[in-house]
Chain A
Amino acid sequence: MYLASVLELATPLVLAALGCLLTVRAGVDNIGIEGMMLGGAFAGAAVSTTVFGPWGGLAVAAAAGLALALVLAWSHLSLGADFVLAGIAVNLLAAGGTVTLLFAINKSKGQGADDLASDPLPTVNLSFLDDVPVLNALADQSPITWATILLAPVFVYLYFHSKPGIWIRAVGGNAPAVVEAGISPTRVKWLAMSLSGVFAGIAGAQLSLATTHTFVRDMTQGRGFIALAAVYLGLRHPVGTIIAATAFGACQALSTLLQVRTTIPTDPLAAFPYVVTVIALGVAGLRSLRRRSLAAA
């Protein structure tokens, strides 16, 4: 079921990448997205086994991502910390905080293990698709995947046609113009970062409540950075970003498949998204260089 696994693994990447896209377009490279995902994954797993259940876990995952995003926004926009440093700090807070809390929870349960079982979200079971080729990939996906598939076009539409969408793109494009139009760029950045936190939190929930049924320390394993890479590889366009993130998800799925079925090493495949993105940045640089030299001539 390679296709099914592509969808499953691409979901968190697409969600996080779309969140990242908003901040990047508002002028902030959101390195903290990794931590926001991790926070979401942990919060989702931790809450899913309580009375609130997996759906409560999903909500709290989004809230946890949002909370970390607010820390980032506050450090950067209110305290004036550089966003790279603030992003690194958010990642550290999430990495350290989730493990510390994991210990605390497991200790109260008398466990010493490094992971936390979650109560997963029910899958959307469409058994009538089981025998349909290609479409059978959709037969047993998580509600988060379904939401991502269905809402991605809505996102793209709103990105181009809603006020926040236009304002976010305007802030990154030419902040003074936004001020002249009577909009506060700082507020728009707060909004973009908050949204990215919610997206990342839900992406984290997909990891701990759908793809796996547990939370493990550092379980995001760089997925946030892959999401950031997808934004740049997708030329900071929502459709491009979705395609790039899905392609990276396909990479991960292929990697899983190879690990299970063969002894072919998977590390080059894992490095692939990053290599492609560096090359893409180089090519973009070359192109703008050539354009400038043409303009000067």
Chain B
Amino acid sequence: MSTVLDWRFAARLAAGVVGAGLLVLALLALTSDNVPASVDGLLTGAVSSDGRMAQWLSYSSYLMFVGASVCLVFRVGMFSIGAEGQVFVAALAAGGVALALGPSGFALPLAVLAAVAGGAAWALLPGLMKAYLNADEIVTTLMLNFVATFAFAFVIKEALLPDGAGFPVSDYFDQGTWLPSWGTIPSSLVFAILSCVGVSLLLNRSRLGFRLRMVGDSRPFARANGYPVRRLICVAFVVSGAVAGLTGAAIAFGGTHRLIVGMGAGIGFEGILVALLAVNRPGLVPLTALAYGYLRTGGEIIQITGNVPRDVVVVLQGVLIIGLAALLRRRDARSRTPAVAAPATEQPGTAQGDVMEVTR
């Protein structure tokens, strides 16, 4: 029985992939003068030169941090979409520290610490509101994303803008804080993979992670086993915020080397996609981040070379999210495998189930 279901799942997945591919092809046909070249650019662009490969790998590394962060909260049953804002706050904190310390051996470690603290703090607020006030985390995190975005822009424009800058940026950080690369491999990739492994170990191997997963599965159960449920919810938010904070540091010190208004915008939502592709398993996030980052980089490249908007990939992203969310929910509903899909907030069509008082 389960093999039949898996087969069906695979067939749906294949159909989805083919469908998404056809859609992208259609969009390319609409915009591109040379469709085969655009397809080629999309599919091989990311490895067509060392520079592009480095771009792919570093972008993927950012996605990994966010993906791991999103996996963590989702697995605890919290629908936080606040990674975006946490990244901004973290980048700002890290950048502020780096700029303040200037050339110093301590600058990078302290700045990374600041990023972690910033991301964690920005996540703690909705965590507390969820745990103690039962405030809908979807709305609070969404709102806080914007607060972070504007705070980021405000601080840069008001406090960090160097004289004569044409657009809102900060000074470059001291070169000592720039993350090194080895050939095409950025060091942020190593840290990102380590973060995914770390989050995976935390969730699957540690005692804390064990408790968090129990809370995610059933809060009454966690309570019946004496777990401090509210505190654990806050911990989940804080840890995921800290990991998201690392993204901010990685972008600032591995990518832009200064703070730019709009840097990393959208990464929080792409992280959700990456986590979803990895069925909320942080161990799989490096793979899905590399795969998605590959396409994303291909999109950047055809924009430059083929005058095709990279936004074709954004459409693909939307289609993938719908398809995956639906597939996972269905698989979960039909077979009784673990709910690795997104945590249930409100399921459609449960009204009937609520009326039933199914006794024995």
Interface residues, chain A, with chain B CB atoms under 8 Å away: 27-29, 31, 71, 75-77, 79-86, 88-93, 95-97, 99-104, 107, 112, 175-176, 178-180, 185-186, 189, 222, 225, 228-229, 232, 265, 267-268, 270-271, 274-275, 277-278, 281-282, 284-286, 288-289
Contact = CB atoms under 8 A, between A and B. Distances in A.
Nearest to B315: A96
19 contacts: A84-B79, A84-B345, A85-B321, A85-B325, A86-B321, A86-B322, A88-B81, A88-B318, A88-B321, A91-B318, A92-B269, A92-B314, A96-B315, A99-B311, A100-B30, A103-B307, A104-B30, A186-B349, A281-B135
A291 B79 CA distance: 26
Contacts of A277: 139, 143
Contact of B318 (A89, A232, A267, A289): A89
A27 B143 CA distance: 19
Given A100-B27, A100-B30, A29 B348 contact: no
A284 B311 contact: no
A178 B355 CA distance: 10
Contacts of B133: 281-282, 285-286, 289
A80 B347 contact: yes
Given A85-B272, A92-B314, A96-B317, A284 B135 contact: yes
Interface in B268-312: 269, 272, 276, 307-309, 311-312
A82 B347 CA distance: 7
Contacts of A275: 143, 147
B136 A281 contact: yes
A274 B149 CA distance: 11
Given A75-B326, A102-B309, 12 more contacts: A77-B349, A79-B322, A82-B342, A86-B325, A89-B322, A112-B307, A175-B351, A185-B349, A267-B154, A271-B154, A278-B125, A289-B134
Contacts of B319: 89, 93
Nearest to B348: A77
A186 B143 CA distance: 28
B165 interface: no
Given A88-B81, A176-B351, A100 B139 contact: no
A194 to B, nearest CB: 15
Contacts of A267: 150-151, 153-154, 157
Nearest to A80: B329
B358 interface: no
A255 to B, nearest CB: 11
Nearest to B153: A267
Contacts, number: 189
A221 B314 CA distance: 17
Nearest to B342: A82
Interface string B55-98: 00000000000000000000000010100000000000000000
Contacts of A229: 139, 143
B335 interface: no
Interface centre among B81, B153, B314 (most CB of A within 10 A): B314
Interface in B131-163: 132-136, 138-140, 142-144, 146-147, 149-151, 153-154, 157-158
Nearest to B144: A278
Contact of A176 (B321, B326, B355): B355
B345 A103 contact: no
B352 A179 contact: yes
B318 to A, nearest CB: 4
Contact of B344 (A82, A93, A289): A82
Nearest to A99: B311
Contact of B129 (A75, A222, A281): A281
Nearest 9 Cβ contacts at the A-B interface: A285-B133, A96-B314, A79-B326, A92-B318, A81-B325, A96-B315, A267-B154, A93-B318, A271-B150
Contact of A100 (B157, B311, B354): B311
Nearest to A107: B31
A64 B138 CA distance: 26
Contacts of A89: 317-319, 321-322, 325
A107 B325 CA distance: 35
B154 A265 contact: yes
B313 interface: yes
Contacts of B317: 89, 92, 96
A225 B143 contact: yes
Given A88-B269, A104-B31, A270 B325 contact: no
Nearest to B269: A88
A81 B329 contact: yes
B333 interface: yes
B309 A288 contact: no
B263 to A, nearest CB: 16
Nearest to A171: B351
A238 B326 CA distance: 32
A270 B143 CA distance: 12
Given A89-B322, A179-B351, A228 B30 contact: no
A153 to B, nearest CB: 27
A278 B317 CA distance: 29
B146 A222 contact: yes
Given A89-B321, A285-B133, A80 B150 contact: no
Given A92-B317, A284-B135, A31 B142 contact: yes
Given A179-B351, A186-B348, A268-B150, A75 B322 contact: yes
B314 A76 contact: no
B140 A278 contact: yes
B330 interface: yes
Contact of B309 (A28, A31, A90, A103): A103
